[in-house]
C-alpha cells in the first residue's frame, strides 16, 4: 500500500510539472488585433482579403509562434478564417505584424458590405488560436480574442488607396 501511495504521489507531481511546461501566457499578456483589411483576388464564390494582424507580447520573454488560425467577424457576422504556418517570434514586451489571407464567402460579404458602403468602417472581432514553441522543445497553444473597428477603404475601394 505504501508503495502504491508513493507511486500516485510521484504521478501527481509529474502531472503538475508537465502541465506547468505548457501553460499559455496570461490571456491579458498576449493580444491579437486587426490592423488593416485589404481586398485580394476574387472569384464567383469567394473573395480573398489580406488581413494584417498585430501580435502584442506583454510578457518579459520572447514568444515563438509556429502557426495560427484567425476567425474574422464583421459587424457580428462570421465572414471567414485565415490560417498561417509562418514562424514568427514576438519579442518580449514588443509587437510584430503578420499578413494573413482570409477567404471570405461572397454571399455573406456582399450582404454585409452593402450596409458598410457609407460609413466605410466595420466593427470587427478576431478570434485566434495561436500555436507556439516552448523553451526546451515543448509546444503550447492558447486563444486570443479582440474586438474593435477597422477602416474598410482599402477593401471597398482598392484602386483609390493604391495612389
Residue 2, in any domain of the structure? no
Domain that residue 61 falls in: 26-157
Specify the residue for cell string 482570409: 102
**DSSP H stretches of helix in 64-118:** 106-116
- Do the domain assignments include residue 148? yes
Round to whole Å and give the CA distance between 80 and 109: 9
Mean pLDDT of 93-115: 81
Q: Does residue 9 sit within a domain?
A: no
Decide: 54 and 36 in contact? Cβ < 8 Å: no
- Within a domain: 66: yes
pLDDT in tens, 2-53: 554 444 434 333 333 333 333 445 556 889 999 988 887 878 888 888 999 9
pLDDT of residue 8: 40
User: Is 134 in contact with 82 (CB distance < 8 Å)?
Assistant: no
Cβ–Cβ < 8 Å for 82, 72:
yes
Whether residue 3 lies inside any domain: the answer is no
Q: What is the grid cell recorded at 160?
A: 483609390
List, for residues 122-131, the tens digit of each pLDDT value.
Answer: 889 999 999 9
Flag whether 13 is in a domain.
no
Does the pTM surpass 0.85? The reply is: no
Instruction: Please tell me the total count of domains within the chain.
Output: 1
Across 57-84, average pLDDT: 91
Q: What is the pLDDT at residue 6?
A: 46
Measured on CA atoms in the order 17, 19, 22, 27, is the torsion positive or negative?
A: negative
10 conformational bin, left if phi > 0, alpha if psi -120 to 50, beta if neither: alpha
Does 163 map to a domain? no
| Residue 20 domain-assigned (yes or no) | no
pLDDT of residue 18: 37
Q: Which domain CATH number covers 66?
A: 2.60.40.1820
Amino acid at each position: 500500500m505504501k508503495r502504491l501511495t508513493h507511486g500516485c504521489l510521484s504521478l501527481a507531481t509529474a502531472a503538475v510539472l508537465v502541465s506547468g511546461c505548457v501553460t499559455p501566457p496570461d490571456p491579458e499578456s498576449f493580444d491579437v488585433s486587426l490592423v488593416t483589411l485589404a481586398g485580394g483576388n476574387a472569384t464567383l464564390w469567394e473573395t480573398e482579403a489580406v488581413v494584417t494582424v498585430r501580435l502584442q507580447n506583454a510578457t518579459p520573454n520572447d514568444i515563438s509562434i509556429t502557426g495560427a488560425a484567425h476567425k474574422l467577424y464583421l459587424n457580428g457576422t462570421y465572414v471567414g478564417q485565415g490560417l498561417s504556418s509562418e514562424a514568427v517570434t514576438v519579442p518580449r514586451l514588443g509587437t510584430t505584424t503578420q499578413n494573413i489571407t482570409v477567404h471570405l464567402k461572397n454571399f455573406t460579404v456582399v450582404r454585409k458590405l452593402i450596409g458598410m458602403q457609407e460609413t466605410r468602417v466595420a466593427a470587427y472581432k478576431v478570434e485566434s488560436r495561436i500555436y507556439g514553441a516552448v523553451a526546451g522543445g515543448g509546444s503550447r497553444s492558447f486563444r486570443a480574442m479582440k474586438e474593435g473597428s477597422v477602416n474598410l477603404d482599402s477593401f471597398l475601394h482598392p484602386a483609390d488607396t493604391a495612389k
